[in-house]
Structure 1
């Protein structure tokens, strides 16, 4: 029996949180306990705190934290004891694994209902997190756990790239140069595009996009002069107009993949334009096991450099200050981590 205590940030209801202490959790059958190294705060976590996340996709009270990395500390019954001591990340969706959608690998569409670490199940804004062992993606012994804490957003981007199927020599555009956008630039640069455009209203993120492989950058107003130019457009911002803007940047017969999560009231996509331009539009919500594997491989082979996106680190006790930075609009704020 494990002795000692563990801490976690409990969001009791929108706008109200406290640091709680309790016994270190014991993993049940098929589970592992992970000592959290770092956990990223993203816009979805800000939605949980503000109370703006869509109904059915959060359950209060909740310990958030779905972007994380750590070291396996204990294993439950039926789990390979050799996993203890391994560095790891894990998929967030608690899919059933047996429904028709899961059987085809579409775990984010599981028909058993939505369950996800950090939204409906206790997450990693804590010293420890307990997850099903079947969701683990163990990492090499020399893996950088700070970089690995960004593998969840990297997996979402990898899901978009798998859907997009970029081909060498294509003109490619990425809308948004936040965490998702800069990860997308890195992965898409590996496909040898003839042109890789990054669009964002902020000069500093655009400069970083250039360092990650973008060959051209533009503010949204200037990007309007490039409508109809791109074979593939990946939208990552979730701003009110970016889904529509992505379809306008695409050439006739082009491909558009939407990864951002706009709030209610976003500008709609013109169905006439979709039909006349014969666009293929896809969307991504979360990441499949295949996308997670692709993201882990990209990190371990050096195609991804996510640690460079981290700008702020906070202790668990400073969660309030940390979450206030996310979505603040400060151009100096990149990825914010909690480090237990």
Structure 2
């Protein structure tokens, strides 16, 4: 089968690789849609921390925001999965440790992460294998585009849940990339007054096109009391700034990861009686995200700028957006964005062939 393989920093191409086989407890999925995110770009540049820690190594087959149809099952798996449309959890715990047994497999020390960690091949390919226990069935109401947005949506939903918003609460979301914008949509659906912070330019224009009228820069943000702040940006300076802006008794949620360490003064947390929440993965919220998408509570599809073939992935990872898809990449979620009216997300359909422009 065809798969996109990163062989070294800045080097990746579509290769013919051996088609996967379902081992006991696993399924083979025919991939229909995959999203590219900032983690994928970090592997392409060589900056991903797992490459230094030994949790990942080249060659890498990336892609963890996916949906597809189960085409084969291994021993011990219900054959009823065959033909079902699914997406899957990225985080694959060992299943035996204390964390896994408590339902926290997404923080299992020995976990694999699809397309990220433990050399578990990702979904930028015509097929992939995953444990059947990681699958979530997709209802007919969700098309492939929405199905492949469940994983980033689950991350955003967990961040909004961490903010513990009530109707009428005011929340500031920093970073108008995919996760930040999904946070804004979920927070709005929860009845919050949503404000979005970014740099001047297309990102904020696109946020406004989604009906998020309160889109600001640091210079233009009104001096309003903020009940919660969600940091979905990649700036090492913003976490401390967020803590300085949230109301006493409020909550700050951290889901963006900067390339350099961020510094917080714990005295500000204590004296402000502020709750700080970190969010690692979508795992605990995948089912709820699917239900909210299917009900039409949140529609993630406007965030998708283009759908391309595997042959175009190398160009996108190198920073070249498809025609009409603007100029941003997921690595620029803190600042740069696509053209006005263009979303930040690029999807791949592995069934397509050639450069679609």
TM-score after normalising by structure 2: 0.87
Find the counterpart in structure 2 of residue 295 from structure 1.
Answer: 289
Find the counterpart in structure 2 of residue 154 from structure 1.
Answer: 153
1:1-340 equivalent positions in 2, closer than 5 A: 6-54=1-49, 55-56=52-53, 57-111=55-109, 113-119=110-116, 120-193=119-192, 195-212=193-210, 214-223=212-221, 225-226=222-223, 229-266=225-262, 268-288=263-283, 290-325=284-319, 326=329, 327=331, 329-332=336-339, 334-340=344-350
Contact 1:313–1:336 (CA under 8 A) maintained in structure 2: yes
Q: Residues 252 and 330 from structure 1, CA distance in 2 versus in 1: closer, same or farther, beyond 3 angstroms?
A: closer
Partners in 2 of 1:204 and 1:14 — Cα distance?
29
Q: What whole-Å deviation, never above 9, does each CA across 1:73-126 have from its counterpart, x for those lacking one?
A: 111111111111111100011112232222222222113x24100013100110
Find the counterpart in structure 2 of residue 3 from structure 1.
Answer: none
Partners in 1 of 2:102 and 2:208 — Cα distance?
37
Greater than 4 Å deviation, 4+ residue runs: none
> By how many angstroms is 1:172 displaced?
1.2
Partners in 2 of 1:66 and 1:122 — Cα distance?
9
Q: What whole-Å deviation, never above 9, does each CA across 1:21-72 have from its counterpart, x for those lacking one?
A: 1332111111111111111111110000111011334222110001111111
TM-score after normalising by structure 1: 0.91
SS class of match (1:130): strand
Partners in 1 of 2:303 and 2:152 — Cα distance?
12
Partners in 2 of 1:185 and 1:100 — Cα distance?
34
> By how many angstroms is 1:205 displaced?
2.8
> By how many angstroms is 1:133 displaced?
0.5
- Structure 1 window deviating more from structure 2 (14-23 vs 322-331): it is 322-331
SS class of match (2:14): strand
Partners in 2 of 1:68 and 1:243 — Cα distance?
30
Q: Residues 32 and 121 from structure 1, CA distance in 2 versus in 1: closer, same or farther, beyond 3 angstroms?
A: same
Give the number of equivalent residue pairs: 329
Contact 2:10–2:318 (CA under 8 A) maintained in structure 1: no
> By how many angstroms is 1:204 displaced?
3.1
Contact 1:41–1:336 (CA under 8 A) maintained in structure 2: yes
> By how many angstroms is 1:161 displaced?
2.2
Contact 2:163–2:228 (CA under 8 A) maintained in structure 1: yes
Contact 1:202–1:331 (CA under 8 A) maintained in structure 2: no
> By how many angstroms is 1:209 displaced?
2.9
Q: What whole-Å deviation, never above 9, does each CA across 1:239-265 have from its counterpart, x for those lacking one?
A: 222212221221011101100011125
Partners in 2 of 1:214 and 1:142 — Cα distance?
25
Which ranges of structure 2 fall in alignment gaps of 5 or more residues? 320-328, 351-357
Q: Residues 142 and 331 from structure 1, CA distance in 2 versus in 1: closer, same or farther, beyond 3 angstroms?
A: closer
Q: Residues 331 and 249 from structure 1, CA distance in 2 versus in 1: closer, same or farther, beyond 3 angstroms?
A: farther
SS class of match (2:106): helix
Contact 2:66–2:123 (CA under 8 A) maintained in structure 1: yes
> By how many angstroms is 1:142 displaced?
3.7
